[in-house]
Structures are given as C-alpha cells and as structure tokens.
Amino acid sequence: MAKDEENIEFIDRDQEVKEINPFTLKNILSGSLLTIDGLLKQLPFILFLTMLAIFYIANRYHAERLVRKSDSMRTEVINLRAEQITTASELMRISKPSEVEKLVREQQLGLTEAVDPPVKLIKKRK
C-alpha cells in the first residue's frame, strides 16, 4: 500500500509569500513608497525620467533660440530689401542722361555731349 500512497502537500495560506504593491494609497500616504528598497528598485526608471526631462528642457531652449534667430534674420532681410530698393532707385536716377550731364557740369570736367553718332570700326582681314 505504500506504493499507492501519494504525498499530498498542504499549503498554509498564512505562509504564502505575498507581494506588496508599492503603489497603493496606504503606501503612498505613509511614505513607505520612498524607502530605500523601493527607491533602489525604481532608480533606473527615475534616472531615465530625469534624463528625459533634461533632454526636453534642452530641446525647448534650442527651439526658442532658433525662433529668435529666425525672427532677427527675417527683420534683417526686410531691412536689406528696403536698402536694395532705395539703392537701385538712386542708381536709376543718377544714370539718366540729364543727371549725368548735370553732374559733369557741376564738377567742371570739361566733357561735352557727342553730336555725331558713333562710328563702327571694321577690321579688314588679310
């Protein structure tokens, strides 16, 4: 009969190892969530979150710097375009034949306007 007998083990429910959930309201309010054991278990995650926060802050500063630089460059382009238009109109004004004649007279260069049309020179081939 010894062969037919099976060993039956009884498990006492009081001796079972219970896993304690560290995120219960009681643990949060009592402060046991922040004990050394719990903190050491969560240390890699806490470091990950810290690095993520630092990256987020750095990214935000970089984006703000780019926006400020873009705004200043846009303002500079507007100013340069206005200066270019002003310079082009001034150049067109002073390149008129009447203005050129006026400037030559004012500076007394002794130049006169040609009366005869220009002559085209042709080189003969040998």
Q: What is the pLDDT along the chain (126 residues), one digit of tens a residue?
A: 555 667 666 665 655 555 656 667 887 777 776 676 767 888 899 899 999 999 999 999 999 999 999 999 999 999 999 999 999 999 999 889 888 888 888 888 888 888 888 889 998 887
Extents of the domains making up the chain: 19-107
The DSSP secondary structure of the chain, one letter per residue, reads -TTT--------GGGSPPPP-TTSHHHHHHTGGGSHHHHHHHHHHHHHHHHHHHHHHHHHHHHHHHHHHHHHHHHHHHHHHHHHHHHHHHHHHHTSHHHHHHHHHHHT-------SPP----PPP-
